Structure 1
């Protein structure tokens, strides 16, 4: 399976997955034009649309694409997503004939209460729950919910490619460095990101194992993050540490 991030809107990524036979699916099409352009350029046939959550920058192109290509739209069980043809929930499996692919559905409340991710075919299609070197803001869920969701993702195989919804890696990394300035893996990742972005290339996907080594929101039990939290008065338990990290990131501007 080929995995292609399509830049969209200000800083979104629509994920295009396709096989060697020309069959494709897209994830979180916030607009239709980049998808149509990629399908045309690669001579691909769109066969399915997968949605992770209801925010407009992830679903606004789905209706146009469904109408043009007459394809199923898989989405969480959320009435705010009216374009869905197939509602999926935690524990469901999606088996597509074309492209031949199978994904496990996982509920990951936090960014929104109905957010889901799709794991399979070597990728983790995680929307706005997990970002490279960061995580999504808590618009609907609680710190405890979001931390539990991230810990579920952290338990998946480390070779999965993290395919997230935005190009936030450099900004996330600047915050991560304030938390773990001595993290050598983080330093190396940021050098890689700087080189990619200097060439106007995406910083994602990254492997889940890389995120486990670098992303402070997946490292609330690591010594470096605990030390940072202790200095910020929140070292008692993992949820408190996560909440302190998220609150600090919400107002971080460097």
Structure 2
């Protein structure tokens, strides 16, 4: 049995910790070392390795300190993301950890080196997607193009609907406020907004979400839907038909929302 828990870092980051019944643990995208160390001590866990999705500091900043504090760590990620990475992986590679096998998915857009890790071997399929797919949103395009990000999100969208989406930030309320502006008549979205408001009023995480939930309420996965297309065209004030262009329009809209 694998336990997956969020570790809060900075103001809104989540570092995900996976652990087994023997007390072995892996963490995903550790930007801060102190919260990781505190979590490991509180759970009496031994850190075995780290998964990295991309090179931004709030995802790799803890690596130098964690390497000093824990011996023989496996650090798995894109080759260019951090000098501490000792197992470089690329699209299509497989990573075995805690008796699980993860598939590596290249998902450029937020950054060019961005990858995600997917496994179907937990109690429900699990996706660790960094800053590519958020609950109700997607990452800004710091390095990639709208076409790249649309394609990357399409790869994730094609995974099973029951997949748990473990993203790296608590952005859900703001994302859903934008989603409502895009699709004000989406009843599933309205219900999700109510659920998220209730969770945040209790200071509870709104993630993981499910991929089925994202397909139904996340505008960045819904460029094929008529309501999203109408809103995108009204915002862009130009004639656009391609899904990539619809996506690009709503991404620009969100950047200025």
Category of TM-score, reference length = shorter chain: over 0.9
Matched, 1:194 2:197: yes
Partners of 1:234 and 1:124 lie apart in 2 by 35
How many Å apart are 1:234 and its aligned residue? 5.0
Corresponding residue for 1:25? 26
Matched, 1:236 2:251: no
Corresponding residue for 1:69? 70
Deviations along 1:89-131, one digit per CA (max 9) or x if unpaired, are 00000012xx222110000010000100000132110000000
SS for the counterpart of 1:138 is coil
Asked if structure 2 preserves the Cα contact closer than 8 Å seen for 1:234 and 1:244, the reply is: no
Corresponding residue for 2:91? 90
Corresponding residue for 1:6? 7
Matched, 1:226 2:225: no
Corresponding residue for 2:109? 110
Partners of 1:186 and 1:237 lie apart in 2 by 24
Tell me how many residue pairs correspond in the alignment: 249
SS for the counterpart of 1:118 is strand
TM-score with structure 2 setting the length: 0.94
Corresponding residue for 1:139? 142
How many Å apart are 1:146 and its aligned residue? 0.3
SS for the counterpart of 1:201 is coil
CA RMSD after TM alignment: 1.0
Partners of 2:140 and 2:233 lie apart in 1 by 22
Structure 1: segments with no counterpart, 5+ residues:
none
Match of 1:249 among 236, 241, 254: 254
Deviations along 1:43-63, one digit per CA (max 9) or x if unpaired, are 111111000000000001122
TM-score with structure 1 setting the length: 0.96
